[in-house]
Amino acid sequence: MDNRGRDRHSVLIPSGNYTCMRSLGERGIHTILASEHDGTPAASSRFCDELVRIPGPPDGLVAYKDALLGIAARPDVKTIVPTRPEDGYVFSKYKDEFEQYVTLVVPEFDTIRRVHDRILLYEAAQEAGVPMPRTRLFSDVEVLDKPAIVKPRYNVIAREYVAEYDPNDYDIIKSVRHLRPGDTPDPDEIYAEMNHDPIVQDYVPGDGKYMFAALYDHGEAVETFQHLQIRGNSYTGGGGVYRKSVYIPELESVARALLDHLDWHGLACIEYLKDAETGEFKPIEINPRMWQSLPSTVYAGADFPYDYWLLATGQKRQIEPGYELGVGTHYLWGELGYITSVRTDESPLVERPSLPKTVWEVLSSIYDEPRFDLAHLDDPIPFAKYVWHALFGRKERNEGGPGADGETAAEDPATGITLTPGLSLRGR
């Protein structure tokens, strides 16, 4: 038995999630960053107490799980914060193994399956009586009668969902296709791109994209948060890079109705579109982990990392829900990606905005609301390293340098997602 830090309370944070580490480190909680990357920028933060090198999910989900278990077995470690896309699957599937050592606030695996599978999520929404875009298997659609989107059926494609996969293997496929009525995409091309039978989801003419976040305790909402996504990674969609905190009672009602129906436990991030034709808020997907725009949530006063810690360590009564409205924040690298997308991305369903107008809107909003996900004057080194890796990481990988194995430059230190574009993150 490892006896280090027996009287110390530590939290394990997979990947370089800077916001989680900062939030918990500021509270005096010993932070352990577990990463496959020696040079991940978040490790240089003054809030990172310890860096432990582990195999990453692409090295095999079982090896990743076993490495985290080895750290969790330390007596000082009290919980693990799910931060990576794979974590919801791994922590729920192997929950009994982890809870020999730590307390996890994650759903049961049957619930994870229902939200990872967008067909089952659509069925759950219907059962809960909340609106959601019509969702069908690609193989069941003969003719497109409405504008639609083809995208993966699963948030994470793994053995429990697709039998052909080995327990170590997984895919996270980000490919999305916009189709018009009457379009006839090549099925062989679609299957090759998606690696499984994907879904066709009715396109929602948007009157705003929203994020609803929640922390639940066995079916009871402990804390919730909402923001309006003003810009995403691309003008066609994607995760929020400029957002502003809001509170809309109708959104609160439909989101909680869905999570209540699922008897949710743990973190939930739900992407919503407001239908321009009906005014309804329609969910697109649920992620059972910390989200890309977490810094904006914490800026507004909803400290989900710390509240997750309180719930996991039996201190639920200390959670103080609530947040400030109208707080806007920026993910600077994502803002650059949005501008780039105006020149490079294509969609038959979304009108391309003017490039000069886009540049002006981005710059003026940054001037008006200079709050940034990673840039902090009291802890500047992680942001400086992040910029270096973002700018030069691709060249280093191509030349066999520090990023040659897809390490630091490929991982966003705020979120644990990849920086470089691609259709999938493959653990095969």
Q: Are residues 185 and 287 in the same domain?
A: no
Q: Which two tokens stand for residue 3?
A: 């006896």
Is 118 inside any structural domain? no
| Final residue belonging to a domain, choices 331, 349, 368 | 368
Q: What's the structural domain count of the chain?
A: 3
Q: Are residues 143 and 269 in the same domain?
A: no
Output the pLDDT for position 365.
77
Is 287 inside any structural domain? yes
Q: Are residues 100 and 16 in the same domain?
A: yes
Output the pLDDT for position 114.
96
d(CA 174, CA 266): 24
Q: Are residues 191 and 219 in the same domain?
A: no
Tens digit of pLDDT at every position of the chain (428 positions): 444 555 689 999 998 788 999 999 999 999 999 999 877 888 889 999 999 999 999 999 999 999 999 999 999 999 999 999 999 999 999 999 999 999 999 999 999 999 999 999 999 999 999 999 999 999 999 888 899 999 999 999 999 999 889 999 999 988 889 999 988 888 999 999 998 999 999 999 878 899 999 999 999 999 999 999 888 778 777 777 889 999 999 999 999 999 999 999 999 999 999 999 999 999 999 999 999 889 999 999 999 999 999 999 999 999 999 999 999 888 877 778 888 888 888 887 778 888 888 888 778 877 888 877 777 778 888 888 877 777 766 544 433 333 323 233 334 433 343 443 333 333 44
| Final residue belonging to a domain, choices 184, 202, 220 | 202
Of residues 40, 98, 13, the one with CA closest to residue 419: 40
Is 18 inside any structural domain? yes
Residue for token pair 């948030």: 155
Q: Are residues 12 and 42 in the same domain?
A: yes
Q: Are residues 240 and 318 in the same domain?
A: yes
Q: Are residues 237 and 216 in the same domain?
A: yes
Is 402 inside any structural domain? yes
Is 127 inside any structural domain? no
| Final residue belonging to a domain, choices 202, 220, 248 | 202
Output the pLDDT for position 6.
58
Beta-bridged to residue 177, according to DSSP, are 150
d(CA 177, CA 140): 17
Q: Are residues 231 and 362 in the same domain?
A: yes
Q: Are residues 210 and 192 in the same domain?
A: no
Q: Are residues 286 and 221 in the same domain?
A: yes
| Beta-sheet strand order (sheet of 157-158) | 157-158, 170-173, 424-426
Output the pLDDT for position 145.
87
Is 117 inside any structural domain? no
Output the pLDDT for position 421.
35
**Strand 220-234 versus strand 206-217 pairing type:** antiparallel
Output the pLDDT for position 427.
45
Q: Which two tokens stand for residue 120?
A: 């089952």
Output the pLDDT for position 249.
98
Output the pLDDT for position 420.
36
Q: Are residues 3 and 98 in the same domain?
A: yes
Is 115 inside any structural domain? no
Output the pLDDT for position 399.
36
Output the pLDDT for position 355.
87
- If you write DSSP's letter for every residue of 260-277 in order, what string do you get? HHTT--EEEEEEEEEETT
Is 198 inside any structural domain? yes
Output the pLDDT for position 364.
81
Q: Are residues 264 and 327 in the same domain?
A: yes
Domain with 322, as residue range(s), is 206-368
Q: Assign residue 22 the CATH number of its domain.
A: 3.40.50.720
- Quote the DSSP letter at residue 416: S
Of residues 421, 248, 413, 247, the one with CA closest to residue 331: 413
Output the pLDDT for position 412.
47
Q: Assign residue 249 the CATH number of its domain.
A: 3.30.470.20
